[in-house]
């Protein structure tokens, strides 16, 4: 999916660090990350637990800020952006999917999507979004009435309904069994293909990198390896 002529990166980081201060201890979660994400690609961020994947994704998504270094989104400097700019960034440009779904339990599937489309610019309808994740039948169910996989698909529908430019997924399959997990990945790939949404998926499951265009490996807060995958496999060839 990557055109070589696409010079302009969606995300572009240089020397990005993040230090957490816990009382007297300093934790260097990121120690200078240089990384680019290109339009329309499907990237897997791979790495051991504690290697800084979530920290990186949170900074890219405007939930957190680095301690030093640069973060650019389509030529806009995120590292010095105001609270308001970051809120708008999340609101209009980024879709998030998390390990624990983070749905609003008091809202139905449709309403959980609507809560985002209500505030977005030119979104799909909640029904269209749920159709994309094949949940039309379960639209009026509450989270408590759905399985984990279904809840995660609602979360994906919620993330893509605003037609974001990027989709950031932090261990979207982490809480799911392998069969359900594969189904969720299939949905993500499908959306990446259909809408051209730049997608970054965090996992510590190396098998998943087979479906990606590119795999970026993090270890100990640095990019240790970038692997291009010219021939991604389809999800039905995946298993773990």
Ligand X SMILES: Nc1ncnc2c1ncn2[C@@H]1O[C@H](COP(=O)(O)OP(=O)(O)O)[C@@H](O)[C@H]1O
Where on the chain is the footprint of Mg ion (CB under 5 A)? 54
Query: In the complex with another protein, which residue's Cβ is closer, 12 or 162?
Result: 162
Cβ count within 10 A of residue 70? 15
The reply to whether 64 sits near another protein by the rule CB under 8 A is yes
Query: In the complex with another protein, which residue's Cβ is closer, 59 or 211?
Result: 59
Query: In the complex with another protein, which residue's Cβ is closer, 109 or 211?
Result: 109
Q: Rule CB under 6 A: which of 3-32 touch ligand X?
A: 20, 22, 27, 29
Of 38, 44, 8, which Cα lies nearest the Cα of 169?
Answer: 44
The reply to whether 240 sits near another protein by the rule CB under 8 A is no
Of 94, 96, 97, which Cα lies nearest the Cα of 172?
Answer: 97
The reply to whether 127 sits near another protein by the rule CB under 8 A is no
Q: Which two tokens stand for residue 210?
A: 């087979």
Query: In the complex with ligand X, which residue's Cβ is closer, 50 or 148?
Result: 50
- The C-alpha R_g of the chain, in whole angstroms, comes to 17
The reply to whether 206 sits near ligand X by the rule CB under 6 A is no
Question: Using CA of residue 72, residue 77, residue 81, residue 87, what is the dihedral sign?
Answer: negative
Q: Which two tokens stand for residue 120?
A: 């977005």
User: What is the C-alpha to C-alpha distance for residues 201 and 209, in angstroms, rounded to an integer?
Assistant: 9
Per DSSP (E only), the strands in 163-231 are: 166-170, 198-203, 214-219, 222-228
Q: Show the binding pattern over residues 46-75: x = contacts ligand X (CB under 6 A), - = does not.
A: -x-xxxxxxx--------------------
Minimum gap (Å) between residue 199 Cβ and ligand X: 17
Exactly one of 19, 81, 115, 238 binds another protein (CB under 8 A); that residue is: 115
Q: Which residues bind ligand X (CB under 6 A)?
A: 20, 22, 27, 29, 47, 49-55
């Amino acid at each position: 999916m990557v055109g070589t002529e696409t010079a302009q990166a969606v995300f572009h980081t240089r020397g990005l660090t993040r230090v957490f201060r816990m009382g007297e201890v300093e934790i260097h979660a990121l120690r200078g990350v240089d990384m680019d994400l290109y339009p329309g690609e499907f990237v897997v961020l791979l790495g051991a637990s504690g290697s800084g994947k979530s920290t990186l994704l949170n900074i890219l998504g405007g939930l957190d800020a680095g301690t030093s270094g640069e973060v650019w989104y389509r030529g806009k400097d995120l590292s010095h952006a105001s609270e308001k700019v970051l809120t708008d960034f999340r609101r209009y440009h980024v879709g998030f999917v998390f390990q624990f779904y983070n749905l609003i339990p008091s809202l139905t599937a449709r309403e959980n999507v609507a809560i985002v489309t209500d505030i977005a610019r030119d979104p799909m309808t909640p029904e269209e979004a749920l159709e994309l994740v094949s949940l039309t039948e379960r639209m009026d169910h509450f989270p408590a009435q759905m399985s984990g996989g279904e809840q995660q698909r609602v979360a994906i529908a919620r993330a893509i309904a605003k037609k974001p430019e990027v989709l950031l997924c932090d261990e979207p399959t982490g809480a799911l069994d392998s069969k359900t997990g594969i189904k969720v990945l299939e949905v993500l790939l499908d959306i990446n293909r259909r809408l051209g949404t730049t997608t970054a998926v965090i996992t510590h499951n190396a098998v998943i990198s087979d479906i990606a265009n590119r795999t970026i490996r993090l270890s100990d807060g640095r990019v240790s390896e970038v692997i291009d995958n010219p021939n991604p496999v389809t999800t039905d060839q995946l298993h773990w």
